[in-house]
Amino acid sequence: MSSFIAYLVSGIAIGCTYALVASGFVMIHRVTRVVNFAQGTFAVVGGMATASLLRHGLPHGLAEVVALASAAALGLLIGVVAIGKPGTPPLSSVIITLGLAIGAYAGEVMIFGDQPLSFTMAHGSTSFLGAHVDRQLFVIMGVTVVSYALLQLFFGRTYVGKALTACSSNPYAARLSGINPSRMGLLAFAIGGALGGLAGVLITPIQPVSFDSDSLLAVNGFAAAIFGGLMHPSTALLGALVLGVSESMIGGYVGASYEIEVALVLMLAIMVWRAARTPVMAEEVA
Amino acid sequence: MLQVDDLVVRYGSAVALDGVGLHVGRGEMVALVGPNGAGKSTLVNALSGVVRPAGGTIRIDGRLAHVPEGRQLFADLSVEDNLRLGAWRSRNRDPRRIYEVMPVLGEMRRKAAGSLSGGQQQMVAVGRALMADPDVIAIDELSLGLAPIVVADLARHLAQLNSERGMAILLIEQNARLAFDLCQRAYVIESGRIVAEGDSGELSRSPEVARAYLGGITGSDTETLLERTAE
Ligand SMILES: Nc1ncnc2c1ncn2[C@@H]1O[C@H](COP(=O)(O)OP(=O)(O)OP(=O)(O)O)[C@@H](O)[C@H]1O
Ligand SMILES: [Mg+2]
């Protein structure tokens, strides 16, 4: 029983980091219709930058904030390259993000080295329903809940949030109202960068991150995002939790880590199911 | 207020507008009529900068608002949010001034715009454009899908804004009779060229225009309607 609780809590926490990556995918896709393959890169930069800033003596808090700002800036930069030229077809932008994600490896190795980095955020473990649980897992869950709540407020209550939704719903009409959809797209890339970066900052203390850790997070985040048709952050959250918990249970009871495999199978199943149920995917690609 | 000269717009190799000239003065209400595919929507899209002209000049004094063909609302957002986003470039985001002239919008302000009927959506589209407090408004198909009484209502509000605030109006209409009734002056566009222009009353008496756009009925019907609006 206690190991079940431990697997469950750890699965939910890992799922939360997938959810943050997924919400970045959704954020960028909603506004620009671009699937940003560099989404995992933000997490790597967030995690590695925090670790290396802490090593250089920056205090906690500042290190995390600077790392998040760097991830957001990188998001903006990738946005500029991918959608900055007006009239770039979304598919070309997707390919550009893929290229940048691979190109980023070189930069990451140069800046952070090729070894996995880690750091400690919340020390030790605590007893929870009879199981020993890392305190960091609760930090992950808490921060994810707060981030999702803030996102909800941002889209539901603020004028800029509404404008982002407007660009997603009808970019032509947005332009007529004087909103600049390209600029909104860049904003989405920056926010997506920060969300991905946050996932990296949170996960690095429990899973050391190296330059090529992006694919695991990106594949899982993408699978979760697909759950919500790449349009709905709340459904993506659900998908992310399902993924995190299933992977944790399989890892715990079967005794091997099949994270990528589980994610891929689930993603495939969702895609087949969605395609059979509605033509949504086809429309969104078109 | 709005001055267009020698405007040329091409889609690839196809010429959609071929040297169009047009003028709407301050406080004027001008109609643009023409058959499907004549280039009317292209013209207003060029005015609002969505399509880039290949040649010619456009001069707009002040702010232009554009009620696009086919309503084009933000379907997931509420009526109120749609209206507020219309004021993106102006400072006044309070939609109450629109609810005063269009009380129906106030009643359904919390509904998702996508859940409204076509006519209701058209009203939101007009309201959203008015939120920009425009100096010039271009309306692409005002009457489309609207009940005649609603059109009359909207037309009255527009005429009021036109006379009180001097808002210039360019009205694109399939229903040429309505357009001639509402506007003092009109342009007729065919295949990307202005083929006739002038006083609406005179245009509606011209046999060619009447045959093409008024179902062959010249003169008296429209004249009585015109007299009514003039009063
Ligand atoms: N995006 C586009 N790409 C290519 N051709 C276009 C495009 N939009 C319009 N056209 C062409 O330009 C011409 C003018 O079209 P436009 O939409 O301006 O006509 P319209 O007068 O508004 O017609 P309607 O009364 O049917 O709305 C048409 O021949 C149309 O086929
Ligand atoms: Mg048209």
For residue B68, tell me if it sits in a domain.
no
Closest CA to B6 of B72, B78, B55: B55
Summarize pLDDT for A102-136 with one digit per residue, the tens: 999 999 999 999 999 999 998 888 888 888 889 99
Q: Which long-range contacts (CB under 8 A, 24 or more apart) does A265-269 make?
A: A266/A223, A266/A242, A267/A219, A267/A222, A267/A223, A267/A226
For A175-220, write each residue's pLDDT tens digit.
Answer: 999 999 999 999 999 999 999 999 999 999 999 999 999 998 999 9
For chain B, what is the mean pLDDT?
Answer: 88
- B72/A159 CB distance under 8 A: no
Give a yes or no: residue B228 inside a domain: yes
Which tens digit of pLDDT belongs to each residue from A208-262?
A: 999 999 998 999 999 999 888 888 889 999 999 999 998 898 888 887 777 778 7
- CATH number of the domain enclosing A98: 1.10.3470
Higher-scoring residue by pLDDT: B149, B145? B149
Structural domain total, chain A: 1
> What are B63-75's pLDDT values in tens digits?
999 999 998 999 9
Residue whose CA is closest, atom 2 of ligand 1? B11
Residue B23 has pLDDT above 80, yes or no: yes
Instruction: Assess if residue B108 is contained within a domain.
Output: no
Select the residue of B50, B85, B129 nearest A166 (Cβ to Cβ).
B85
Chain A interface mutation, best of B76, B83, B140, highest count of A Cβ atoms under 10 Å: B76
Among A162, A169, A175, beta carbon nearest to B50: A175
pLDDT in tens, A29-39: 999 999 999 99
Interchain pair B89, A178: CB under 8 A: yes
Residues of chain B with C-beta less than 8 angstroms from the C-beta of A176: 48, 50, 65-66, 68, 72, 129
Kindly state whether residue B54 falls inside one of the protein's structural domains. Answer: yes
Mean pLDDT, to the nearest integer, of A159-168? 96
| Residues A66-70, mean pLDDT to the nearest whole number | 98
- What's the number of domains chain B is made of? 1
Range of the domain at B183: 1-62+175-231
User: What was the ipTM of the complex prediction?
Assistant: 0.88
Asked whether residue B34 carries a pLDDT value surpassing 60, the answer given is: yes
Tens of pLDDT along B89-123? Answer: 888 999 999 999 889 899 999 999 999 998 899 99
Average pLDDT over residues B125-141: 94
Note down the domain range covering A135. Answer: 2-285
What pLDDT is attached to residue A97? Answer: 94
Residue B198 belongs to a domain with what CATH number? 3.40.50.300
